Each structure stands twice: as C-alpha cells, then as structure tokens.
Amino acid sequence: MENLGKAKDPEWNTETNLEKMDKSYFHLLLNKRMVLNPRDDTKSLLHRLIFVSKISPELADKRDLAEYWEQQFLLYNQGESVSGLLLLYSSYTIHIMESSSDVLYCVLRELRKMQKRESRALLLEPRILVMSHNLPFRLFTQWSYKVLDVPAQYLEEKYGDEATDGIISECLTKILKIGKHLTKYPKGSKDIPDTVFDKVPELIIPQGFISHLLQCKQLFTPDQFLEFYDTPLNILLDSDQVWPTAVHLTPVQKRSVL
C-alpha cells in the first residue's frame, strides 16, 4: 500500500520508446542508431567550407572584415560553434570555416547577397574551393584570423590552366599543415600573432594561387553552388516507367469502313 498513488518509473525499452517517437521505419532505425552509436551520428554534424575572394578596395581596415564575420556567426548560432581561419592578404582572402551544414549554407547565402550589393560589398567575386561533409574532427580549435604582410617572394605570378589541379592540391596541403601547426598554441586571441607564421613562412599560401583560383571558371560561385543545392532533383526511376504505355507512341491509323 506504500506505493499507492506513486507512479512507477517506466523501464527504458528502446524498441517501445522509439516506436512511440516516430512511426516510420526510417525514423525508427535512425533513432535506434543515435541511441546505440551516438558518436557515429555526431560526425555528420561537422562540415567544412573553404572559399577565396577579393577584398573590396573601399575597405580601409581589413580587421573590419574579421569583425563582420564574427557578428554573422552570432546571428547564425544554432548550437554549433564555428571554427576555422581567415587569412587576409592585401587584396585577397582565403577563408576556412567548420560548422554545421545549416551555418555554412547561411554563409553561402550571405555571400550571394553580398554580390548583389555591389558597391557596398566587403568581398568581391568569391569562389568555392572545397565543401567537405561529415568530418570526423575539427582541423581548427577556434575561429581566428590573420592579416598577412606578404613578402616579395609571395607576390602574384602567372599560372596556366593546366596548373589548376596542382594549385588546389597545394593550397589544401598548406591549410592542413597550418591547422596542425596552430594546435601547438593554446586558445587565445582570435587575432593570430605574427610570430606564429614567422616560424613557418613556407605555409603561407601565395597570393598568385588565390588570384589564379578566382579566375578559374571550374570553381563555383556561391550563387552557382546554391542554384544546384536549391534545385529539386527529378530522377526518373525504372519503376516509374510503365509498359505498355498508356498512350500510343505512334499515330493510330484509322481503318476504312467498307
């Protein structure tokens, strides 16, 4: 009688509770996987976007661009932090962002809006270098930026179209090495000190690489990328085809009545 009026703690039954949450078999399997293998599913929350762009000549202080992105990240905050690196050259940028897919697509849409502003745009002619999905871990521990005073040996050069693949590969290799190098330093100011790159000047991506990539038509602009992303995909499956057809493929010849 001592338990009278007290609700019994229900025993956790994975199958029963999952069935109550969602009726479809797909959601049943999805939720079961999240319960049994939570680490596997958290991997799909992390994605990486890398893009290059020109800096507006009207931007007097390049650090204003870093402040702008920090404010945007606060607007995009959906429970998922943003990590990455913004490299600011005299005329160009290369920006690496790691976050959820929703945040990264918000960034792409902001870049598209920015191009429509024209005279008020902080960035010009952005092109997407890489969009990576379902990453197992972050390359950068926080989001930071660096205004680079590029020495003479890294100024613009001319490259042929055949060099594009090699340039992309070298850029990605340098980015990976930069991420690994930054792990040696504790989290701190978002403005990376000069001493960090002074020790490894070979990791700085040449401006000529970025200039070449901005002219590369094979790389999508944010508008082109979002056009593919937002366009519904209509695929005709074999199961959608019915044979014999409901209508004749060729005109039916009328028989003459005798």
- Give burial (CB, 10 Å; 0-12/13-18/19+) of 178: buried
Note the pLDDT tens digit of each residue in 126-157. 999 999 998 888 999 999 999 998 765 554 56
Q: How confident is the model at residue 184 (pLDDT cuts 50, 70, 90)?
A: confident
Q: What is the pLDDT of residue 105?
A: 92
Sign of CA dihedral 196, 201, 204, 208: positive
Q: How confident is the model at residue 15 (pLDDT cuts 50, 70, 90)?
A: very low
Percent of the chain with pLDDT over 90: 39
Q: What is the pLDDT of residue 178?
A: 94
Three-state DSSP state, 42: helix
Give the tokens for residue 245: 């057809």
Give the tokens for residue 7: 């609700």
Three-state DSSP state, 152: helix
Other CB atoms within 10 Å distance of the CB of residue 223? 15
CATH match of 46-230 with 3.30.70.100: yes
Q: Where are the domains of the chain?
A: 11-44, 46-230
Lowest mean pLDDT among 99-103, 122-126, 149-153: 149-153
DSSP 180-229: HHHTTS-S--SB--HHHHHS-GGGSPPHHHHHHHHT-TTSPPHHHHHHHH
Q: Which of 63, 60, 55, 141 is nearest to 91 (CA)?
A: 55
For residues 129, 130, 131, 137, the Cα torsion angle rounded to the nearest 10 degrees is -140
**In the predicted structure, residue 225 carries a pLDDT above the cut 60:** yes
Q: How confident is the model at residue 172 (pLDDT cuts 50, 70, 90)?
A: very high
Q: What is the pLDDT of residue 220?
A: 94
Q: What is the pLDDT of residue 1?
A: 47
Three-state DSSP state, 86: strand
Q: What is the pLDDT of residue 45?
A: 80
Other CB atoms within 10 Å distance of the CB of residue 51? 25
**To 5 degrees, how large is the angle CA 102–CA 127–CA 59?**
95
Alpha-carbon distance 219 to 225, whole Å? 9
Q: Which residue has the higher pLDDT, 115 or 42?
A: 115
List, in order, residues 6 or more apart from 165 with CB less than 8 Å away.
none
Q: What is the pLDDT of residue 84?
A: 95
Note the pLDDT tens digit of each residue in 193-202. 878 888 888 9
Q: What is the pLDDT of residue 254?
A: 55
Q: What is the pLDDT of residue 29?
A: 61
